[in-house]
Structure 1
Amino acid sequence: MLAQRPSFRFLATGALVSIFTLTFLIFGTRSSRDAATRYILKTARPESISQAHCTQETYATLPNGSWNFVAQRDALNHGLSNEQCQLAFPKLFAEVDKSVSLKGGARITYKDLNSREVEDGMVRAIIDQGQLYIVEFAPMPVTASRARATLNSLHRALMAYPDRHLLPNIEFIFTTEDFANDPTGRGPIWAYSKREEDTSVWLMPDFGYWAWPEVQIGPYHEVRRRIAAIDDGETTADGSTTPGLRFQDKKKQLVWRGSLATNPGVRSKLLKSAQSRSWASVRVIDWDDENDIRFNLLPIEDHCRYMFLAHTEGRSFSGRGKYLLNCRSVMISHPLIWREAHHAALIASGPNANYVEVEQDFADLPRKVDFLIDNPQVAERIAENSVRTFRDRYLTPAAESCYWRHLVRQYASVLDFEPVLFATGRDGKLTSRGTPFETWLLMN
């Protein structure tokens, strides 16, 4: 970060040496000072800092066995304590913890962070005393709503937490693209999905946990309500009750709607395997054709009226996965390459299976669907396991906010610096490096 002192070996006169030296002292020293005021080095080991923050937090009193996560009561509670989060969602944080272990004791420096340029669709931000500030935003029209959704979700997780001022201060960059380019030597980045080899990528919740208007999917909590109304029934404002749809009364078909363009290698094989099958309701949607959308688009909650739900990855992860797992239906998927935050809770075999995995080319899809149709009790058990695991636990809004705060803590544990929000500029004035999120949101 320090400016390099110019070489004066070939200058002819002492006067020129003096001029160049004076120039360096004026401008080089200012440049160094500007860089230094962007961050301060930590003086303690990162893990000690993280633990210090945790021990100061005010947790709910939890005598042994006195608290359990209850979906009906806690699913929308964005402010669970750290201890409650750990008790409720023990499998949720696997990918974040893995990112910490991959560092092998190494730390992320300010130089590392700066090596990742903020390109189209990226956001650079600071969390300072639990408050969110936007340092840099490179909007991309296609994903601009994703940036707002992601920042709203993170802000909500911070604001709902009573001890947010005790969370560690961090500076980070995230991308709103489907995945992050992860070439060797690039700095850390937060992204919606990652592969095994993406060692500098830190996994964050996707934008759909706020809303996904581009595909006509509304706020996540509202989608969950509509899904639960199909599976469990609901009571309307006038007091009348609509019964839920029993699993055995669902359409005994495999449903899928989507575009081939985002992953033709996988999705075309699904179409081929399901072709001419009586149990298949598999259709391609052309998102550029309004008529095709009008006739073939299936509201996300209406997927839950089917007994079997096909899931395929797209350019990377497929955003529909978490919605399908909210249904009391059986999700059927090929082996997933792109990871999401909740994937550690997926179980494909045994009595606790909560989805069905088929081969990458879907060659065994007919055999497995036929088996499930012929053994409805097995299918229903998988569907019930899915509800208990995902709809009522790992895919609740409460779990999402817990994940955000765990990501903040664990990311901070491997930083060797803390960002400085207010920096001294060349004019000597103290200015904020970031725009408060509340202000930024009204401007973008």
Structure 2
Amino acid sequence: MTTKADREIARLMTLHPKGFDLSLDRITRLLDRLGNPQERLPPVIHIAGTNGKGSAAAFSRSLLEAEGHKVHVHTSPHLVSWRERYRLGAQGGGRLVEDDVLADAVVRAAEANRGETITVFEILTAVTFLLFSEHPADAAIIEVGLGGRFDATNVIARPATAVIMPISLDHEAYLGDKVELIAVEKAGIIKRGAPVVIGAQESEVARDVLIETADRLEAPAIIYGQDFLATPEHGRLSYQDEDGLMDLPPPRLAGRHQFANAAAAIAAVKAAGFAVSLNAAERAMEQVEWPGRLQRLEQGRLTQFAPEGAELWIDGGHNPGAGAAIAETLAEREERHPRPLFLICGMINTKDQTNYFRAFAGMARHVFTVPVNSSDAGVPNAELALRAGEAGLSAEPVHSVANALMLLRDTWDHKEPTPRILICGSLYLIGEVLAENGTPPA
């Protein structure tokens, strides 16, 4: 169903260019006309990085809400509805913005722009600041859209803390083709004198760039592996920092990488000036939600097409770093509960498809490649099958996720263990799946 906010945003898309135009001039001009709402926000946790931004935001929200705080959250992109980008703080837990409230804010931001050149993402970022300044809350968590230095969210003069999650190659056309260049862009959210939490970095070069930037700006750096750490202990999460040790339940979000993401969130909430009690941290680990990231689908319309008893997962990670993290998680699961692994994958043409697939070489028995219908940049399914083949995987193009599931169901040898199926490769695809399955984020 098309909503009022959907119609207003669709209208903007016919008037303004798609994509990103990395500069702060247009967003600064628009916010000035709106009365600079970004200056009237509660304490902000500003999160950048290549992978793990959304998870860090989800953990931070869960921690703060477990302590009884009202928390605004801005993330992008959305999976099914534009409303997912704007979660407004409320007692007992935040709620996605109401359609009428979002539509009104979009109209006001568009009118203030007066038809001048701007991207839709910049208008929608201005909407974030309008909404968050007009609804009272104790904290705001704001995820960077792309990069950091020139991202439209980077108009916050002094966040309570910046957070920079793992950095790897992605969006090379915008950010550069070397990890150190991307790290410079991400480090752009570090503000003079404001603390910065540096999450677990695979690249020493990236880590060094972040630390050097923090030193230059006299921004206190809280560094994973030096000032805080998370380790698995007997299936639980052991978190340690200068305040001591917390023995916590394993995060509800699947994957070993989520231990480090949870740790970065605990460090960030503390750096932003909020207390994190043991009881609240325990509840946060057990209650955290982040749809479309190694999420298990156990019910819904699409699940009925899968072989009976199949284990069905979805994940929107779309670059080689995300592929490696997902593959590691599934390998650990395979050790405990062996099942043949199949991928149903759709990707867009700005991503490194072959190296994404390489993470699953030797693990996945077969890949079904599908079109991504909700993006103009979707890779044709036949071409994507060739990329999977280049990575050493057996692959074939099919028309849809439902088609792939039914093919598996109709040809499955019931003498084998039922399959583990991962639908993956693009957040656009995962949004399509959640909508078709009847289980959109709430």
Higher relative contact order (CA 8 A, sep 6+): 1
Which protein is bigger by CA-based radius of gyration? 1
TM-score normalised by length of structure 2: 0.25
TM-score normalised by length of structure 1: 0.25
